[in-house]
Amino acid sequence: MPYRLESHGSDRGTRCAVCDGKFGLVRHYSWRTPLCSRKCVDRFKARRQNDRNWMGWLQIAFEQSPENRARAS
């Protein structure tokens, strides 16, 4: 049996991107991503914010590494 997410491209549009739940009468969107509820919108925004925070820490780590300081001098 094929993995559900790989089975059909049209099936992606019928489920919530966060919880994989079915859509009701109202469909919410955040960054063109269809979501089933306001709770999933909040989860999606929190996940994006966490991703941004992690990338910021990664950038700081590379800027402050001793090898980069030696190359700059």
DSSP string, 12-47: GGGB-TTT-PBP-S--EEETTEEESSHHHHHHHHHH
Q: How many domains does the chain have?
A: 1
Amino acid 71: pLDDT = 58
Amino acid 30: pLDDT = 87
Domain assignment of residue 46, yes or no? yes
50, two tokens: 């966490």
Domain assignment of residue 5, yes or no? no
- pTM beyond 0.85: the answer is no
Full residue range of the structural domain in which residue 17 is found: 13-72
Domain assignment of residue 8, yes or no? no
Domain assignment of residue 42, yes or no? yes
Q: What is the mean pLDDT of each run of 10 residues along the chain (73 residues)?
A: 51 82 90 92 91 72 63 57
